[in-house]
């Protein structure tokens, strides 16, 4: 059974997720910790919970989702997993940060590519990989079919959707991703987004004004 813990971090109020199982194995997804106090918050939680991070993942590589990649990788001896289309976004992230006055050291270690058809393995649990471009060219969502939840990145929010006016964004592609990749999921599927509160697929079908 996977436990989902969320932390809202950095000036963009980005949601960082730590997924863990009963054996203490953990996934770190989109570490957005920019300030040292935020790093301390994540590390204290992991240490006090007796967790052992085993994989570092980005749903996509906009700056607010990658601030903490280098720190997390160094702290727990991890390497980064992303979709191939996000490598260019990762390389652009420091330049984007500089425009906001948010300079940071980018992750520079080995990068492993993941895509639909593969799974994220956490002990006995599996997360399916869904490709949902539009907000970013290689945006991924991680879906637990057994437990009925989705780590959605910036694709779908509570009564909103991700921006598509950023570099390599595409509004029509984003809408298509939501309707073809997310709408077929059960209505009760809980969506844990990259910003804001969680929601469900059913709620968004009924109430999302952008869809």
pLDDT at position 105: 96
pLDDT at position 171: 98
**What are 36-68's pLDDT values in tens digits?**
999 999 999 999 999 999 999 999 999 999 999
- CA distances to 12, 94, 178, 205 from 9, rounded to whole Å, are 7, 18, 25, 28
For residue 151, what is the enclosing H or E element? strand 149-153
Q: Among 169, 162, 160, 164, which Cα is nearest to 203's?
A: 160
Q: Where are the domains of the chain?
A: 3-207
**What are 154-174's pLDDT values in tens digits?**
999 999 999 999 999 999 999
3-207, CATH topology level: Metallo-beta-lactamase; Chain A (3.60.15)
- Cα–Cα distance, 117 to 205 (Å, whole number): 26
Query: 193: which strand partners?
Result: 153
Point out the least confidently predicted range of 84-88, 164-168, 169-173, 180-184. Answer: 164-168
Average pLDDT, the chain: 97
pLDDT band at 77 (very low <50, low <70, confident <90, very high): very high
pLDDT at position 48: 98
State what percent of residues in the chain have pLDDT above 90.
Answer: 100
pLDDT at position 134: 98
pTM comes to: 0.97
Torsions phi, psi for 140 (to 5 deg): -115, 150
């Amino acid at each position: 059974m996977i436990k989902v813990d969320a932390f809202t971090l950095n000036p963009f109020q980005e949601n960082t997720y730590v997924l863990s199982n009963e054996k203490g194995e953990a996934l770190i997804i989109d570490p957005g910790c920019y300030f040292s106090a935020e790093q301390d918050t994540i590390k204290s939680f992991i240490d006090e919970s007796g967790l052992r991070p085993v994989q570092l993942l980005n749903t996509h590589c906009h700056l607010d989702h990658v601030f903490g990649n280098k720190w997390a990788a160094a702290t727990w001896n991890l390497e980064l997993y992303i979709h191939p289309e996000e490598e260019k976004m990762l390389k652009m992230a420091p330049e984007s940060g500089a425009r906001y006055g948010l300079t940071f050291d980018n992750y520079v270690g080995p990068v492993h590519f993941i895509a639909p058809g593969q799974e994220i393995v956490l002990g006995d649990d599996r997360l399916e990989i869904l490709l949902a471009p539009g907000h970013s060219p290689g945006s991924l969502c991680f879906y637990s079919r057994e437990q009925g939840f989705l780590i959605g990145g910036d694709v779908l929010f509570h009564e909103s959707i991700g921006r598509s006016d950023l570099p390599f964004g595409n509004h029509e592609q984003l809408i298509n991703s939501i309707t073809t990749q997310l709408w077929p999921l059960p209505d009760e599927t809980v969506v844990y987004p990259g910003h804001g509160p969680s929601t469900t697929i059913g709620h968004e079908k009924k109430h999302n004004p952008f869809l």
